[in-house]
Amino acid sequence: MMFLEFFIWGGWFVTMGTFLSQSFNASGSQLANAYETQSIGAIIAPFIIGLIADRYFSAQKILGFLHLSGAFLLYMAGSSNDFSSFYPFVLLYMIIYMPTLALVNSVAFRQMSDPSKEFPPIRVFGTVGWIVAGLVIGFLGWESQNLLAYTFYLTASASAILGIFSFILPSTPPTADKGDYSIKKILGLDSLSLLNDKKYLTFFISSILICIPLAFYYQHANQFLNEIGMSRAAAVMSLGQISEALFILLLPIFLKRYGIKITLIVGMLAWVIRYILFAYGDVGEKSWMLILGVILHGICYDFFFVSGQIYTDNKAGEQFKSSAQGLITLATYGLGMLIGFRSAGYITDQYVVDGGHDWTQIWMIPSGFALLVLIFFVLTFKNEKIELK
């Protein structure tokens, strides 16, 4: 389940910018419109989970229905002839895909007696799925051969398989009260009380802001690497997920030794350095800079986002644990990245040159913004101890 869930996402999302540029000569603004469907999906997802999945249907059944529907939408997206026909399919797809991220976790957690120990070895197969998707695309040469429509057909097939497979997953019946239609509970807004804590408020604001430069990577990194001539760019980018899998093992040790503030600082600093490496790297003698920039993904993601999830779990009381995670996801993948995708598209359009883009100027902008967020966080966040389970 986890392997296919993230194989599907990684199989088309990473290379979508390159696909749109190659197939439809899409502008940066159009790329932004396509990628921000993820944020729209993240914002709508709590309604689907809180109002429907948690109250009326078993998680594995709605997971199956959503992935079978997604298979059709992915196939239609890959078969589109222009951006205007492509966009509705990818928008509808992300609206139904984003809720599945919570559903697979729900199915997994409900079968476990000790999720803190049992879940990580299961979740890592999601990272493996994303890696395998990148390796398949890279080694089949779909980027260089202008065959990225095949990524949608491949992932449509995987989505159909997962959709069918979901119906034989362990039963995960709904647990919420069918009569409880409180908007605060559905959206996790009851956890807003966490923002009364000045430390957490600083972290919350920083999380939204750091997602703005993060969006540049998701939206333009593959396009950038292909445009400057990187061979098998999707396979190279899978090094980021390998790094993520390795650094997540080091995260508990680092947190215990240095505390949450230093851990979060290291994560944000990695974003600053990564984009500088992208700005000045090339596919010649400085190719190591590009590869190192990709590998830094493990630190960028694990040391800020995963540690942030752990921090949020510690700050939330028992009654707010789930809703707090939903709130931080809505704020980051929803609001923060929505702003980021739109900004990245606008900025990229400002630096169009003959034969491509002025990537040095483009990458220095999110690097500088990440530095400002880092300075804000260092000056305003006070360290505190968190309990590791």
Computed over its alpha carbons, how large is the radius of gyration of the chain? Answer: 20
- The per-residue DSSP string of 202-216 comes to HHHHHHHHHHHHHHH
pLDDT value, residue 229: 92
> What's the CA gap between 201 and 224, in Å, rounded?
35
CATH 1.20.1250.20 holds for 183-389: yes
Under the banding of pLDDT at 50, 70 and 90, the label for residue 101 is confident
Which residue type is seen at 178? K
Residues pairing with 353 in the sheet: 356
**Alpha carbon distance 125, 245 (integer Å):** 10
Residue 185 has pLDDT above 70, yes or no: no
pLDDT at 328: 78
pTM above 0.95, yes or no: no
Average pLDDT over residues 344-369: 94
Which stretch of 98-107, 216-225, 347-356, 360-369 has the lowest confidence by average pLDDT?
Answer: 98-107
Q: What is the DSSP track for 252-302?
A: HHHHHHHHHHHHHHHHHHHHHHHHHHHHH--SSTTHHHHHHHHHTHHHHII
Q: Which amino acid is at 191?
A: S
DSSP class of residue 57 equals: S
Q: Hey, what are 56's tokens?
A: 């009326």
C-alpha 261/C-alpha 283 separation (Å) is 36
Question: Could you tell me if 248 and 306 are in contact, meaning their C-beta atoms sit under 8 angstroms apart?
Answer: yes
Q: Is the pLDDT of residue 76 over 60?
A: yes
Segment 141-164 shows an average pLDDT of 95
Q: Sign of dihedral through CA atoms 240, 243, 248, 251?
A: negative
The pLDDT value given to residue 327: 75
> 356-357 and 352-353 as β-strands: parallel, antiparallel, unpaired?
antiparallel
388 has a pLDDT exceeding 70: no
pLDDT of residue 240 exceeding 70, the answer is: yes
Do the domains spanning 1-172 and 183-389 agree at the CATH topology level? yes
pLDDT tier for residue 223 given thresholds of 50, 70 and 90: very high
One-character DSSP codes across 304-356 = IIIHHHHHHHHHS-GGGHHHHHHHHHIIIIIIIHHHHHHHHHHHHHHTEETTE
The token pair at 368 is: 């500088």
Cα–Cα distance, 330 to 43 (Å, whole number) = 6
Provide the Cα torsion 84, 89, 91, 94; round to 10°.
-150
**In this predicted structure, which of 56-70, 165-179, 228-242, 285-299 has the lowest mean pLDDT?**
165-179
pLDDT at position 100: 87
**Per-residue exposure over 234-255, b if at least 16 CB sit within 10 Å of its own CB, e if not:** bbbbbbbbbbbbebbeebeebb
pLDDT tier for residue 259 given thresholds of 50, 70 and 90: confident
- Whether the per-residue pLDDT at 176 is higher than 60: the answer is no
Domain boundaries, the chain: 1-172, 183-389
CB neighbours of residue 81 within 10 Å? 9
- Summarize the confidence of residues 365-374 as an average pLDDT: 97
Contacts of residue 183, defined as CB under 8 A and 6 or more positions apart, other chains included, come to 189
Q: CATH for 1-172?
A: 1.20.1250.20
pLDDT > 90? residue 193: no
CB 227 within 8 A of CB 358: no
Cα(70)–Cα(160) distance, integer angstroms: 8
